[in-house]
Amino acid sequence: MLDKRPREAEWLSWLIAGSWAACILVTIPLARVVSTLVADTIGHHAFIWLTVLCIVGAVLWGLGALSRRRPPPAAYACLTIFGGNLLWLTWTLRGNPVEAFHLVQYGILSMLVYRALLHRYTDGGVFVLSVLLTTMVGILDEWVQWLIPERYWGLRDVGINFTAALLAQGALATGLRPAIVSGWPAGRTLSRICYSLAGVLAMLCLSYANTPDRIAWYAERLPGATFLLDGQSMMVEYGHLFDDPEIGLFRSRFDAEQLRSLDRKRGGEAARIMSGYSEDGEWHRFRKSYTVPRDPYVHELGTHLFRRNRHLTLARDKTRPQRKRRDSYFIAQSENRILEKYFPRAIGESSHAWGPEVRLEVNSGAEATYRYESWVSHDLITGFSRRQVMAGFLALIGASLLLGALSAGRSSDPRQRER
């Protein structure tokens, strides 16, 4: 791996890398079961310690390999720095140990992809190609998770997978410094880098186009796709940021005029629906029936309402500290103001409308120590529209493809030519 091409045939190198990628993807549906089993038998942080053990073991192996090659001191420093960054990232992910183990999975995958690429590419571009191809698998990983109940697609997780590959290849390039790799990327390598980047951007573009209305479109037209309507995870949603001086900040899938129109047309219907959910603990039953693809308006209304009711319950819990109770009163008060101002008919005609006694209790108990910002629909993209995001992605994809075509025309290093 450091000084020569792999001994096996090229197809076998790719089979090894593909098999590791397949193992990552195939085990996704089992991840929750396995993590629960490990947590119950060994402990919740077992994956953290396993990740740390793998990273430390890899760094120690790398230091041993360097000692036999007598590189400059900077190589030891670079290997230690990249290994330290992996350990630091592991620490930041300690709240979700399974997520931290992705650093091991995708670090190994990037190394296997690098080995397979060595059959054709031996300039510095091989490290960049390894990162990009590994990132494509990382995005596919998130797509598979999105299709599985109670699992979620997340750009943050894509970033973790990308970072794992980037740090692993950084350690390889600047620390281990394989003798077989030398020189700047040749024209053919640059072309492959551009095309791979276009592939990554295309996958992200498809992700950012996969909004709830598209999901509903798939469910209506594709055989057997109705299960998508029951999904709790939306890849991406676009909406509007409301900065109300009387309430604070909140986000909605609808603009102010759409909210007024929906309340006039569907407020009575929505009130009857919400009156069927009388208990605070019925949130999970509600969210399964009224998902975003099925009914974004009722889903948004219900989410504000359940958040209000939940914090009212917490505010009335006398075992909690007084400061937390006042904060819960404030959250309940703010959510109720959103409901009364933007969903007036839906809340006013439901059984959840507050009477004078509850209103007096909340107003006297609330303590506004900060400007309120609702966490309902907090993940909505409000700075750009879907059209603007798609235009941006398409421009970047087009530029990458153009650069790839131009780079392909450059003369290649003889070592890089097809055999």
State the pLDDT at residue 107.
95
pLDDT < 70 stretches in the chain: 1-2, 39, 44, 150, 410-419
Q: What is the pLDDT of residues 248-267, one digit of tens each?
A: 999 999 999 999 999 999 99
pLDDT at 413: 47
Q: Is the pTM of this model over 0.75?
A: yes
Q: What is the pLDDT of residues 56-86, one digit of tens each?
A: 999 999 988 888 878 888 999 999 999 999 9
pLDDT at 288: 87
Cα-based angle 322, 326, 331 (whole degrees, multiple of 5): 145
Give the pLDDT confidence of 342-359 residue by residue, as tens digits.
999 999 999 999 999 999
What's the pLDDT score for residue 109?
97
- Chain centroid to CA 203: how far? 13
SS (H, E, C) the chain: CCCCCCCCCHHHHHHHHHHHHHHHHHCHHHHHHHHHHHHHHCCCCHHHHHHHHHHHHHHHHHHHHHHCCCCCHHHHHHHHHHHHHHHHHHHHCCCCHHHHCHHHHHHHHHHHHHHHHCCCCCCCHHHHHHHHHHHHHHHHHHHHHHHCCCCCCCHHHHHHHHHHHHHHHHHHHHHHCCCCCCCCCCHHHHHHHHHHHHHHHHHHHHHHHCCHHHHHHHHHHCCCCHHHHHCCCCCCCECEEEEECCCEEEEECCCHHHHHHHHHHHHHHHHHHHHCCCCHHHHHHHHHHCCCCCCHHHHHHHHHHHHHHHHHHHHCCCCCCHHHHHHHHHHHHHHHHHHHHHCHHHHHCCCCCCCHHHHHHHHHHCCCCCCCECCCCCCCECCCCHHHHHHHHHHHHHHHHHHHHHHHCCCCCHHHCCC
Q: For position 416, what pLDDT does the model report?
A: 43
